[in-house]
């Protein structure tokens, strides 16, 4: 069994710190380990929990306990339901936007505004079937998408931001920051012409915190510690922001 750190657990739910490179559930193309597979192995009773999906190939994929997703290279906290009652309760919280998800990310460029809201609908990219777009020329259905952000640090041509998506579109944070010309650091899909920076070899996005209600209607807040690459990048920011020293005569 793969090793995944558990951040919080009770009889209904488990919150884990997903490492980079791990898919949340099989997609019909990748046969490697997945978070759904780990859940089914560690909690066998969860195999019947959740909703399966049908792939374009027609194959039906079970997703034990999976209520929401993180991209393969995104690290951080994700919650999984141990029973169907909790799955439905969490699903309704996501639909009602009462679950609060907070991410942190590094972006290219020193953002001018300290905080703001990106309110741009998202559709399919015309240039690449793998991409989504919040810019002119996107095709297909344009679905509303809102992302709030606050700049935590600036320096060296980069910004470190806290991000709260108010909707849950695929690649939403990556797409929205690309649309305002501050793409995420080392995002080879949405910023292919930028060099990998700050020590990152994967997209610089971390699911830092999630807040949800448990079955007793009590608010639970779970926070994921920074992975090593985030710690390295934050140290680089300390260097960027050190005051220059001058020789005293």
Enumerate the active-site residues. 71
Instruction: Establish how many alpha carbons lie within 13 A of residue 79's alpha carbon, considering only the half-sphere containing its beta carbon.
Output: 30
Secondary structure of residue 147 in the 3-state scheme: strand
DSSP-based three-state secondary structure for 235:
helix
Do residues 160 and 153 make contact, with C-beta atoms less than 8 angstroms apart?
A: yes
Instruction: Determine how many CB atoms are found less than 10 A away from the CB of residue 244.
Output: 4
| Cα–Cα nearest to 137, from 120, 162, 151 | 120
Nearest to 34 by CA among 6, 76, 62: 62
Helix (H, G, I), strand (E, B) or coil at 2: coil
């Amino acid at each position: 069994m793969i090793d995944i750190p558990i951040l919080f657990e009770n009889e209904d739910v488990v919150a884990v710190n997903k490492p980079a490179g791990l898919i949340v559930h099989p997609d019909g193309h990748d046969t490697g380990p997945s978070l759904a597979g780990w859940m089914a192995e560690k909690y066998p009773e969860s195999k019947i929990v959740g909703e399966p999906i049908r792939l374009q190939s027609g194959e039906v994929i079970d997703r034990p306990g999976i209520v929401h997703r993180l991209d393969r290279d995104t690290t951080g906290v994700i919650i999984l339901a141990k029973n169907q009652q909790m799955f439905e309760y969490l699903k309704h919280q996501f639909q009602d936007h009462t679950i609060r998800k907070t991410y942190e990310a590094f972006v290219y460029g020193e953002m001018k505004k300290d905080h703001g809201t990106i309110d741009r609908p998202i559709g399919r990219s015309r240039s690449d079937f793998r991409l989504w777009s919040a810019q002119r020329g996107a095709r297909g259905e344009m679905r509303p998408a809102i992302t709030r952000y606050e700049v935590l640090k600036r320096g060296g041509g980069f910004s470190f931001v806290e991000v709260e998506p108010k909707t849950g579109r695929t690649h939403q944070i990556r797409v929205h920051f690309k649309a305002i010309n501050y793409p995420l650091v080392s995002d080879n899909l949405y910023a292919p012409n930028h060099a990998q920076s700050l020590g990152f070899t994967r997209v610089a996005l971390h699911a830092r915190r999630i807040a949800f209600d448990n079955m007793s209607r009590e608010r639970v807040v779970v926070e994921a510690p920074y992975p090593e690459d985030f710690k390295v990048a934050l140290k680089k920011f300390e260097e960027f922001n050190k005051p220059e020293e001058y020789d005293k005569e």
